[in-house]
Amino acid sequence: MTEFAVQTLHLTKRFDDFVALNSVDMHVPTGSVYGLIGPNGAGKTTLLQHIAGIYRKDSGDVLVLGQPVFENVAIKERIAFVPSSFYIPARATLKSLASLHESITPRIDRGRFETLLDNLNLPLTLPFRKFSKGMQKQAMLLLALASRPDVLLLDEPMDGLDPLVRKTAWSIVLSDVAEFGTTVI
């Protein structure tokens, strides 16, 4: 196990003339919970997308579990990313999303999925588009946690959740940190 689950070293990302990340250094210890705080437009989402291996860096390094993440399938399999917004096909249900997720995520734990489903009390067959914003966020968190990630990336993770569900969701996430050493950003 590496000392740092996530490291960025002089990470820089530009979009045309706009500098979104300017030589960012970050060292997140394995098994910790790390919060990114800043105003809108500060680069938090861009940073998470680099750590998830979605964006190619302009310069610097992004290491997850000691290895470069971009185009590294073996490392990406150990990361779960819950973005702040997402597109889900109109007819999709949580059941169909779980089947899709299971087919593309080798680390999916079906028993963990069922346990989380019971805890969050989400309907399996209701079309996802009929879920409230909070229910959609819970469903995405459920799918992410069911893959037993080593690194869990959450962009606006509790947006749309009511206080009771927020408490339950954080309890589940922190339980994974304690039990499995999951690193959460």
pLDDT at 28: 98
DSSP code per residue over 138-176: HHHHHHHHHT--SEEEESSTTTT--HHHHHHHHHHHHHH
pLDDT at 115: 93
Residue 154's alpha-carbon distances to 63, 103, 172, in angstroms, are 18, 22, 14
35: helix, strand or coil: coil
Any idea where the domains of the chain sit in the sequence? 1-76, 78-179
Rounded to the nearest 10°, the torsion over CA 61, 150, 75, 26 is 0
pLDDT at 159: 86
Same CATH fold assignment for domains 1-76 and 78-179:
yes
pLDDT at 1: 60
pLDDT at 86: 85
Burial 151-179 (b: 16+ CB within 10 A, else e): bbbbbebbebbeeebbebbeebbeebeee
pLDDT at 158: 84
pLDDT at 20: 95
From 3.40.50.300, 1.20.1740.10, 3.40.1190.20, 1.10.10.10, which CATH number describes the 1-76 domain? 3.40.50.300
For the domain 78-179, what is the CATH superfamily, name and number? P-loop containing nucleotide triphosphate hydrolases (3.40.50.300)
Query: 8: closest CA among 23, 33, 26, 34?
Result: 26
Q: What average pLDDT values come out for the chain (185 residues) when binned by 10 residues?
A: 90 96 97 94 96 97 97 95 89 92 86 92 92 91 95 91 90 93 96
Q: What is the pTM of this model?
A: 0.93
Cβ(176)–Cβ(146) below 8 Å: no
